[in-house]
Amino acid sequence: MDASSNKHPYTCVPIVRANSHGWELRLPHDVVVVWDGDESPDGLRIIEGHREEKSQQLMCDSLVGHGVLTFYCWYLVKTPEPYNLYVSGPPNHFIKGAVPITGVVETHWSPYTFTMNWKIRYKNRPVVFKAGTPFVHFFPINSVVLEEFTPVYKKLEEHENYEAHKLWSDGRLENPSKVDGYYKKGTHPNGCPIANPDIHKNKLKLQEPK
């Protein structure tokens, strides 16, 4: 995002909000791996960063094969019922040659630590996770509530905000490059507020770990 033209992605509220939607762990040093295409765990070699430099604690390993690199998180997380932990790669942060594998961990009861896994996509080419890179991103999720939602298909015209949508859509067709800022402000195209100001947020301000 920083490397983009004029840092334009920072003007996109959904992207900025996703970036702040949880906590991260970052690497204390570089991790460099090479996968030769062999599906066994031996096919992935950790060239650099296998252990944390000072404590010599394991940082990562090749455990499951298929070019998957496993990072140890070394935290035993506890969430209240019925919250679980959504675990994935850092939003909108890309590692060249690797993609994150997402999981949901039942941390409301589990006495077990969890790992973060990345699928290496390149063969016979070094893949580098640089020092300071967030290698895991996580946040609480209420899976019980999620199961209570029922998706319903309707005609677009039946949506309660259809008229506002049409006004905005017609304006966008007339001038596709126009930056109106309605979503950021949480307003109708005519300027009247739509979003609940108590819960409309452009960025989350999460509490620091104690």
Q: Could you give the CA distance from residue 73 to residue 167 in angstroms, rounded to a whole number? A: 48
pLDDT exceeds cutoff 90 at 179: no
Res 2: pLDDT:
81
Q: What is each CA distance from 47 to 12, 74, 118, in whole angstroms?
A: 38, 22, 16
**What domain range is 127 assigned to?**
5-146
CB-based contact 50:59 (threshold 8 Å): yes
**193 in the same domain as 142:** no
Of 78, 77, 69, residue with least CA distance to 116: 69
Q: Comparing 60 with 177, which gets the higher pLDDT?
A: 60
Mean of pLDDT over the chain: 93
Cα 170 to its chain centre, rounded Å, is 33
- Tens digit of each residue's pLDDT (9 = 90 or more) over 87-141: 999 999 999 999 999 999 999 999 999 999 999 999 999 999 999 999 999 999 9
Classify residue 208: in a domain, yes or no: no
Q: Could you give the CA distance from residue 27 to residue 11 in angstroms, rounded to a whole number? A: 28
Give the model's confidence band at 33: pLDDT under 50 very low, under 70 low, under 90 confident, else very high: very high
- Count of domains in the chain? 2
**133 in the same domain as 50:** yes
Q: Could you give the CA distance from residue 185 to residue 194 in angstroms, rounded to a whole number? A: 9
Q: Strand, helix or coil at 10? A: helix
DSSP one-letter code for 5 = G
Of 122, 146, 170, the residue at which a domain comes to its end is 146
Q: Comparing 142 with 180, which gets the higher pLDDT?
A: 142
pLDDT exceeds cutoff 80 at 177: no
Give the model's confidence band at 4: pLDDT under 50 very low, under 70 low, under 90 confident, else very high: confident
- Specify the amino acid at residue 197: P
Give the CATH number for residue 36. 2.70.40.10
Q: Could you give the CA distance from residue 87 to residue 37 in angstroms, rounded to a whole number? A: 26
DSSP one-letter code for 65 = -
* pLDDT > 70 in the chain, percent: 100
Classify residue 195: in a domain, yes or no: yes
